[in-house]
Amino acid sequence: LTAPQLAAYDYFIRWMKELSSPSAAKCSHSTPCPSNDELPDLTLVTDASRSGGGFLVLRGSVEGGSETGLADLPMLCGDAFRWSRTQRNFHSNRRELLSLVVGLRACADLVCHYFTNSKNSSDCGSRRRPKVHVLSDNKAVIHWSREDAPALFSSGQALEKRALTRLVL
């Protein structure tokens, strides 16, 4: 090994020792997925850029939609993806909304899985459905996520909304 490679190797070995020391972190064998209790509210964090998008689904919610406290919420799932050549040319609002839709589909899968596999799966109608709190850096996505589908797509106020109807629905 060359001197820089040896230095990098030594650095990583020391770093791994530091991470694996008993004082580094307390070991927790709990799961963020409930088995018998109600499914808590979910927080969906989405973002998109020119090259790709992504989302995180967190268990719980933070006060007032603030980013403070997000790091304390356990992550249930997340994904990052690259846009196709065509999608890269979409308007930024459209890319942000596509990230939101992918994240909402993941939330729907989690809720469906919970209702199907919980001990009381036969009485689905009586259980509280969780709220999904959406956090995004795009005001249009936040506005659109608060609208119900008929109001969003029947108003016809913007060409972008009609284009999204074709892409999403």
pTM above 0.75, yes or no: no
Report the interhelical angle of 159-168 vs 92-117 (nearest 10°).
Answer: 40
End-to-end C-alpha distance for the chain, whole angstroms: 56
Residue 164: which CATH number?
A: 3.10.20.370
pLDDT exceeds 70 at position 141? yes
Q: How many domains does the chain have?
A: 1
Give the closest residue to 158 by CA, choosing from 148, 169, 168, 144. Answer: 144
Distance CA 33, CA 31 (A): 5
Mean of the per-residue pLDDT values of the chain:
78
Tokens at 69, concatenated: 């406290």
Examine residue 80 and state whether it is found in any structural domain, yes or no. yes
Higher pLDDT among residues 23 and 56, named by residue: 56
Q: Supply the range of the domain harboring residue 152.
A: 28-168
Examine residue 157 and state whether it is found in any structural domain, yes or no. yes
Digit-coded pLDDT (tens) for 49-104: 999 999 999 988 877 656 677 888 888 899 999 999 999 998 898 899 889 989 98
Identity at 66, one-letter amino acid code: S
Distance CA 81, CA 91 (A): 17
Digit-coded pLDDT (tens) for 94-127: 899 889 989 988 998 888 888 777 666 555 555 6
Examine residue 10 and state whether it is found in any structural domain, yes or no. no
